């Protein structure tokens, strides 16, 4: 087996688990190549010879994984997300183990499925930029949290997001103009989220019936004016772990579409999969149906097909 590992040295955990994974995975005749970046070398440059590999391992956070998946979109090359970042929400959504020996075992198993991928387009100083996202893109409060948490991740780990949220109790309230396929919607709030996968904690999902294989994006407008008003929505999501509490209170306004164009007044910061873009709205997002091939556990493979 020929395996390429794309390893983000700057990702949150930095515990060297990827090298335990390599040792466990290696058997006679294998070629395992690891390519490292600290953020200086573009990940996309590591994948120019992608057809030489049977499988790619994306070791890092969700931003690393989504960059690899977007570069490999529609190729059918399977990707194993190796959770080495601060949040690792995709691994949470896939109910994936984080132990390197269990991850190595997954590589040898036959369980692969195609999932949707999001594509985000925006401008940076007048230049068009396009990125892929596997989890969530958005503008407003969430992007501010991602930007504020960057300097806290090294010391606080996952709690950096909580600290950043508490540090901004009164985020900017904006007016949104959302073009959902061919329908225009006006709204107001502190953020707009564009979701592919929706789980933000084990068994806690932003939306009630998320399906990352249905060819649709889920759009969530957070209509509150401060963080305190978000608490009822969070409690509702917590109570819905068993699927018996579909409501998300009036704090959240939800839509589905294949594409969305977002304009805001005033402009709001943009993020995708936890990566701040350093730019502001407007942005456009669209779904790429079944563009990403992911390595799954047997249990998740069966659960997904039965859903």
Longest dimension (CA), the chain: 60
Do residues 92 and 164 share a domain?
no
How many CA atoms, within 13 angstroms, populate the side-chain half-sphere of residue 280?
7
Average pLDDT, the chain: 87
Of the three residues 108, 136, 169, the one that is the final residue of a domain is 108
Do residues 93 and 139 share a domain?
no
Do residues 129 and 276 share a domain?
yes
Which pair of structure tokens corresponds to residue 304?
């997904």
Residue in 133, 161, 147, 171 with CA at minimum distance from that of residue 264: 171
Do residues 92 and 159 share a domain?
no
Cα separation, 199 vs 196, whole angstroms? 10
pLDDT in the model for residue 152? 47
Do residues 165 and 65 share a domain?
no
Of the three residues 108, 128, 151, the one that is the final residue of a domain is 108
Do residues 138 and 281 share a domain?
yes
For residue 303, tell me if it sits in a domain. Answer: no
Do residues 124 and 152 share a domain?
yes
pLDDT digits (tens, 9 = 90+) for 180-220: 998 999 999 999 999 999 887 766 777 877 899 999 999 99
Say yes or no to pLDDT of 24 above 50: yes
For residue 298, tell me if it sits in a domain. Answer: no
Average the pLDDT over each of 32-41, 130-139, 192-201, 295-304 and give the range with the smallest value.
192-201
pLDDT in the model for residue 288? 98
Average pLDDT rounded to a whole number, residues 237-261: 71
For residue 104, tell me if it sits in a domain. Answer: yes
Cα separation, 33 vs 196, whole angstroms? 30
Tell me how far apart the terminal alpha carbons of the chain are, to the nearest angstrom: 31
For residue 149, tell me if it sits in a domain. Answer: yes
Angle at 59 between CA 109 and CA 40, to 5 degrees: 150
Say yes or no to pLDDT of 233 above 70: no
Do residues 223 and 81 share a domain?
no
pLDDT in the model for residue 230? 58
For residue 306, tell me if it sits in a domain. Answer: no
Show the domain range for 64.
Answer: 2-108
Of the three residues 70, 86, 108, the one that is the final residue of a domain is 108
pLDDT in the model for residue 16? 83
For residue 299, tell me if it sits in a domain. Answer: no
pLDDT in the model for residue 166? 53
The CATH number of whichever domain residue 226 belongs to comes to 2.60.200.40
pLDDT in the model for residue 274? 86
Which secondary-structure segment (H or E) carries 164?
Answer: helix 159-166
For residue 302, tell me if it sits in a domain. Answer: no
Do residues 79 and 103 share a domain?
yes
Say yes or no to pLDDT of 160 above 50: no
Domain count, the chain: 2
Say yes or no to pLDDT of 20 above 70: yes
For residue 307, tell me if it sits in a domain. Answer: no
Angle at 120 between CA 254 and CA 145, to 5 degrees: 70
Do residues 85 and 139 share a domain?
no
For residue 280, what are the β-bridge partners? 269
Do residues 250 and 139 share a domain?
yes
Do residues 94 and 129 share a domain?
no
């Amino acid at each position: 087996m020929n395996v390429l590992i794309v390893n983000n040295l700057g990702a949150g955990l930095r515990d060297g688990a990827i090298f335990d994974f390599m040792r466990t995975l290696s058997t006679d005749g294998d070629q395992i190549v690891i390519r490292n970046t600290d953020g200086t070398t573009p990940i996309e440059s590591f994948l120019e010879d992608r057809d030489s590999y049977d499988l790619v391992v994306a070791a890092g956070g969700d931003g690393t994984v989504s960059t690899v998946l977007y570069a490999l979109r529609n190729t059918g090359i399977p990707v194993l997300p190796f959770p080495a970042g601060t949040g690792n929400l995709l691994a949470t959504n896939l109910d994936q183990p984080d132990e390197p020996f269990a991850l190595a075992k997954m590589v040898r198993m036959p369980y692969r499925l195609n999932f949707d991928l999001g594509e985000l387009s925006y401008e940076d100083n007048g230049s068009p930029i396009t990125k892929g996202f596997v989890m969530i893109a958005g503008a407003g409060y969430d992007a501010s949290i991602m930007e504020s948490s960057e300097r806290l991740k090294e010391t606080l780990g996952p709690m950096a997001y909580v600290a950043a949220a508490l540090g901004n109790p009164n985020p900017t309230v904006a007016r949104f103009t959302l073009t959902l396929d061919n329908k225009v919607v006006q709204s107001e709030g502190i953020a707009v989220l564009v979701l592919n996968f929706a789980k933000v904690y084990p068994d806690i999902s932003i939306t009630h019936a998320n399906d990352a294989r249905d060819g649709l994006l889920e759009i969530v407008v957070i209509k509150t004016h401060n963080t305190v008003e978000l608490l009822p929505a969070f409690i509702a999501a917590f109570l819905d772990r068993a699927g018996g509490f579909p409501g998300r209170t009036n704090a959240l306004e939800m839509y589905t579409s294949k594409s969305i164009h977002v304009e805001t007044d005033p402009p709001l910061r943009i993020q995708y999969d936890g990566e701040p873009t350093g730019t502001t709205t407007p942005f456009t997002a669209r779904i790429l149906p079944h563009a990403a091939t992911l390595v799954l556990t047997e249990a998740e493979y069966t659960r997904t097909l039965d859903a």
